[in-house]
Amino acid sequence: MLTQASVAVLSLLTPVAQPEGEPPERFTQLMGWGGGDPATIVPAAAEAGFTDLIVWNQDPAYLTQLVQQAQPRGMGVYVSLYLGDVKDWKRRYPDTSPPTQEVNAEEQEAIARINADLKAKTSDYQYGGEPVSDKLEVFTNELLCFHDPRVPEFFRAQIRDILAVPGITGIAFDFFGYRNYRCCRCAKSMALLAEYQKAHPDLTEAEALQRFSLETLVDVQNDLADYARQVRPGTLVTGHVYPVYLPEPLYGNRLNWDTCGQTAAWFFEPFWSEEKIRAYSRVIAGDAKRYWPNAEGGALIGVYVRPGQYPVKGPERIERELRAILDGGVRCLQVCSLNDVLNDPGTREVFRKFAPQKPAN
């Protein structure tokens, strides 16, 4: 079934050049999102051919250990900011309640329905990926509202602390999006939208909402990326475009990152067809430099190996998905979860097979 989002993406396909000849057998960069004990996880990731690790844990002592393991192996370490980080907000500002995104009554009802369906194990909820049902889907996690200037300030503080750890390659972005996949409905966001509408009287209300929501979503991430490069020149920036922004799911080429991870093969059933994976990969690779000539397009593949909890793709399916991504022209691969890949020998072998070839010793 083509969702609205797929149609929007497919309509972008025409101007994208098809890669010529046979696709290569390997990616040139392999980035794993995960965590865990540095002494265990880094050697295992290096052995499987990973070039970079992306972690959410910002604890300086942890990051120092991670760098100590990764640096001698030539691996990069990225530390992710994440818009759901209410916990760190409370740690840093215990006396100020976190400015979180708000949803309307209908969306609130959808959250209650999704939670009930998840409990009953009858849910097709996609956890922030493109919805597959016609029912209203809303992200059930809390997210901060970046329209409140205190939120970018909070992330600037995180960036300073992360980059104070020697040897960190760069920062990453995760969970930067909207709970209803379109906009935030809090009073602050609505007031800024009203100003935007006043400044753009030619736009309809719907157009203004969409443009305001996308522009501010892009700007906050680009401003923070610039800030990181200013705090420590040479800092690299990556991330995963998530949760989905429904009016333009592959908006990641607007982000001034060094490598932009966009979803090419989602975690959950119904697993994406090879046709869809190839189509998305063509846009990810082909349109990567439209706004920022130095940006590299990256594809994110979702892999959980947690039988009983989530559907398991298995090595054969993963191999077909990886070939479809290469065939679409993408050369940088991100996978989440790194730990799931490393913990399952069959899955690990597939990634090793497609990992960048190691230079001979």
Interface contacts to Zn ion, rule CB under 5 A:
145, 147, 184, 186, 189
Shortest distance, position 106 Cβ to Zn ion, whole Å: 17
Q: How far is the CB of 256 from Zn ion (least distance, A)?
A: 23
Smallest gap from residue 208 Cβ to Zn ion (A): 16
Whichever of 142 and 349 has its CB closer to Zn ion, that residue is 142
- What letter represents residue 218's amino acid? V
Q: Least distance (Å) from Zn ion to the CB of residue 144?
A: 9
Neighbouring CB atoms inside 10 A of 359's CB total 6
Name residue 23's amino acid.
P
Q: Which is nearer to Zn ion, 146 or 272 (CB)?
A: 146
| Contact between residue 183 and residue 217 where contact means Cβ atoms under 8 Å apart | no
Pairing of strands 76-82, 170-174: parallel
**Strand runs labelled E in the chain:** 29-34, 52-55, 76-82, 170-174, 236-239, 259-265, 296-302, 332-336
d(CA 8, CA 63): 40
Neighbours of 275 (CB within 10 A): 10
Q: Which is nearer to Zn ion, 79 or 81 (CB)?
A: 81
CB of 359 to Zn ion, least distance (A): 48
- Which C-beta is closer to Zn ion: that of 186 or that of 231? 186
DSSP string, 239-297: EB--S--TT-TTGGGGS--SEEEEEEE-SSSSPPPHHHHHHHHHHHHHTTTSS-TT-EE
CA torsion 10-214-190-243 (nearest 10°) is: 70
The smaller minimum CB distance to Zn ion, of residues 189 and 256, is found at: 189
Closest contact distance (angstroms) between CB of 102 and Zn ion is 6
Looking at the Cβ atoms of 145 and 214, the one nearer to Zn ion is: 145
